[in-house]
């Protein structure tokens, strides 16, 4: 019932892609997502050098024989990365699927994707950007609505409108996201014309997620009202869990703080401290409004099986 163009093109069991999350989707968690029937996506930006990244890909290849992708981060970063170096590793290791997210992919990088025969997925937040990357040769486009955790873009278009607008505008398959936490969300995105879903926030509350148990429990207790937007003042809007650090960032923005000042509160090293040590107020974590639908901490496999069973039941019920 749920074999789609996405499952066929990517060789996966379920039309579910795991969202790329900094410091979280490392090799072990990526493998867990792929082994559960979805597409795990390794966040290359976690790794400080080409050598560290190569070791992570080797580890991933040891942990799964299922398809996975590598994300190449195109957002501006404090520590610039030469994605051509990381692409070299990706090709050397025989990885077949690449995901890009952020600013428009450089033409030379895209040319290398096509020359190598990679399946290229690009993630964006509007019809205009989706059309551009389709013209550049993207095989699949992922779009995420305003409800999503992490980067929301500038247009504030919700998933219910964004997904069908992109589907009707493109020739390539579309993956939809933003607030997808259960089988109802999957069924809805498929009804809107998407060929699969991307899930990020919901995966934070799984047993395999490499974040502290304190944080998992706090997220399970959170509602759809417990997220907020930060960093809009510098043109990098992110939806995050509304904890002390996020509120401090909003206060700094109201006082016209610049990027270096904001990074003292929202920098990646602070987030990693929260993930590792369980101090819930030391950093920020990307979190979508779908957190309000999260009530337990299953394994990734249990979660994906449940999503698929629920979606199947919904579709059968509608047909009846």
CB 123 within 8 A of CB 13: no
CA 276, CA 210: separation in Å to the nearest integer? 8
Structural fold of domain 13-209+295-319: TIM Barrel (3.20.20)
Q: Is 125 helix (H, G, I), strand (E, B) or coil?
A: coil
Q: Which residues, other chains included, contact 8 with Cβ-Cβ below 8 Å and sequence gap of 6+?
A: none
What's the pLDDT score for residue 15? Answer: 98
What's the pLDDT score for residue 73? Answer: 85
User: pLDDT digits over 233-281, tens only?
Assistant: 988 899 999 999 999 999 999 999 988 898 888 888 889 999 999 999 9
pLDDT band at 98 (very low <50, low <70, confident <90, very high): very high
Mean pLDDT over all residues of the chain? 94
CA 176, CA 162: separation in Å to the nearest integer? 9
Note the pTM of the prediction, 2 decimals.
0.95
Report whether pLDDT(105) > 80.
no
Q: Where are the alpha helices (DSSP H) in 192-243?
A: 201-204, 213-221
Token pair of 202, please? 């919901």
Domain with CATH 3.20.20.70 in the chain: 13-209+295-319
What's the pLDDT score for residue 76? Answer: 58
Nearest to 41 by CA among 277, 199, 242: 199
What's the pLDDT score for residue 1? Answer: 66
CA 294, CA 292: separation in Å to the nearest integer? 6
Report whether pLDDT(75) > 80.
no
What's the pLDDT score for residue 78? Answer: 53
Nearest to 241 by CA among 149, 125, 146: 149
Q: Which residues, other chains included, contact 307 with Cβ-Cβ below 8 Å and sequence gap of 6+?
A: 14, 16, 182, 183, 186
What's the pLDDT score for residue 120? Answer: 96
User: pLDDT digits over 10-62, tens only?
Assistant: 999 999 999 999 999 999 999 999 999 999 999 999 998 999 999 999 999 99
Q: Of all residues in the chain, what percent carry a pLDDT higher than 90?
A: 83
Report whether pLDDT(108) > 90.
no
CA 39, CA 19: separation in Å to the nearest integer? 9
Q: Of all residues in the chain, what percent carry a pLDDT higher than 70?
A: 97
State the helix-helix crossing angle for 159-169 and 127-136, rounded to 10 degrees: 40
CA 103, CA 129: separation in Å to the nearest integer? 9
């Amino acid at each position: 019932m749920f074999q789609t163009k996405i499952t066929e093109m990517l060789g996966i069991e379920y039309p579910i892609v795991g969202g790329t999350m900094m410091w979280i989707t490392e090799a072990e968690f990526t493998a867990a997502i792929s082994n559960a029937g979805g597409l795990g996506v390794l966040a290359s930006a976690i790794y400080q050098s080409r050598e560290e990244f190569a070791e992570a890909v080797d580890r991933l290849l040891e942990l799964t024989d299922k398809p996975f992708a590598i994300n190449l981060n195109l957002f501006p970063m404090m520590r610039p990365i030469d994605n051509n170096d990381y692409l070299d590793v990706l090709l050397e290791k025989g990885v077949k699927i690449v995901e890009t997210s952020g600013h428009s992919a450089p033409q030379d990088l895209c040319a290398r994707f096509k020359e190598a025969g990679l399946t290229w997925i690009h993630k964006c937040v509007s019809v205009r950007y989706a059309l551009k990357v389709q013209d550049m040769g993207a095989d699949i486009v992922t779009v995420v609505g305003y409800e999503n955790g992490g980067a929301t873009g500038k247009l504030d278009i919700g998933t219910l409108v964004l997904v069908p607008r992109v589907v009707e505008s493109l020739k390539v398959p579309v993956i939809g996201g933003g607030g997808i936490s259960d089988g109802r969300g999957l069924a809805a995105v498929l009804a809107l014309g998407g060929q699969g879903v991307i899930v990020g926030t919901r995966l934070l509350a799984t047993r395999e997620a490499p974040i502290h148990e304190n944080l998992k429990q706090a997220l399970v207790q959170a509602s759809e009202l417990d997220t907020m937007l930060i960093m809009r003042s510098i043109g990098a809007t992110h939806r995050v869990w509304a904890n002390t650090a996020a509120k401090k960032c909003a206060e700094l923005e109201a006082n016209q703080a610049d990027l270096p000042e904001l990074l003292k509160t929202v920098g990646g090293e602070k987030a990693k401290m929260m993930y590792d040590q369980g101090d819930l107020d030391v950093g920020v974590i990307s979190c979508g409004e779908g957190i309000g639908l999260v009530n337990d901490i299953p394994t990734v496999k249990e979660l994906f099986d449940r999503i698929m069973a629920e979606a199947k039941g919904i579709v059968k019920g509608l047909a009846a």
